[in-house]
Amino acid sequence: LENHFDKRLDPSLLVDDAKSVISVLFNYYTDDIQTDPDAPIISKYAYGNDYHHVIKEKLNLLFDFIKTKNKNVTGRVFVDSAPVLERAWAKQSGLGWIGKNGMLINKKIGSFVFIAELIINLELEYDTPINEYCGTCTRCIDACPTNAIIDDKIVDGSKCISYLTIELRGEIPLEFEGKLQNMVFGCDICQDVCPHNSKAKPHEHEGLKPIRALLEMNKNDWCRLDKSGFNQHFKKSAINRTRYAGLKRNLNFLKVK
């Protein structure tokens, strides 16, 4: 996060003459689950096709619509593709508040959402932040198996299971042995226990529809997974981010053999 910090704070360094950040939320919650309770667990956001492509296509449609209203508009679409403080902008625009687990929480649909932005050179009528509604609840803090949430809105990223199984390069530190709760890609634990996610409703986006073959992989399928199988199962999935070597590292750490 220290890289390009100036651009995170100043959108005009990403888009010339930037005047507005349009933040959008994209629901990815689903009632579908992995069929084998003993299979390594993946985060809900990775059940379907890689969200980057799905959301970017929809944001480009929004941008095209805006261009029909003002031919002089310029800007860029961002879906995890640049140093943008997405949660801060979403909070500023009133789409939710930052929970104790560091996630943006929307009062109506919870936190199982992707955040994306359209930064443009037009001044708009701006929204404002809303109140916070976590109160005295500490369920996310209490549930984190690696104690990554060390205080209200303070997360030690180096202990987060999502970081350990996706972003980390190299071996997972032995101090986390037995603490990953069978998570092999990402982690939903702090979101699963959040009371606000009891309001979550399944999305209806065809592009993010869960891939049945992926959800139906049993423990033996994961054990036998080779590079060819990885390419077959995860070609269009966000799981491809770990590459085969990274996923095998995670499986070995979980002792899925």
Report the alpha-carbon distance of residue 113 to residue 54 in Å, rounded: 13
Helix/strand/coil percentages in the chain, nearest 5: 40, 15, 45
The distance from CA 248 to its chain's CA centroid, rounded to whole angstroms, is 22
Q: Largest Cα–Cα distance of the chain, in whole Å? A: 58
Whether 235 contacts 146, CB under 8 Å:
no
Q: What angle do CA 113, 221, 228 make, to 5 degrees?
A: 85
Whether 79 contacts 59, CB under 8 Å:
yes
Sheet containing 113-120: give its strands across: 20-27, 113-120, 75-78
Burial 150-182 (b: 16+ CB within 10 A, else e): eeeeebeeebbbbbbbbebeeebeeeeeeebee
The catalytically annotated residue of 6, 38, 50, 80 is 80
Report the alpha-carbon distance of residue 147 to residue 164 in Å, rounded: 13
Report the alpha-carbon distance of residue 86 to residue 205 in Å, rounded: 22
Known active-site residue 80: yes
Q: What angle do CA 117, 89, 20 make, to 5 degrees?
A: 65
* Catalytic residue numbers, as ranges: 80
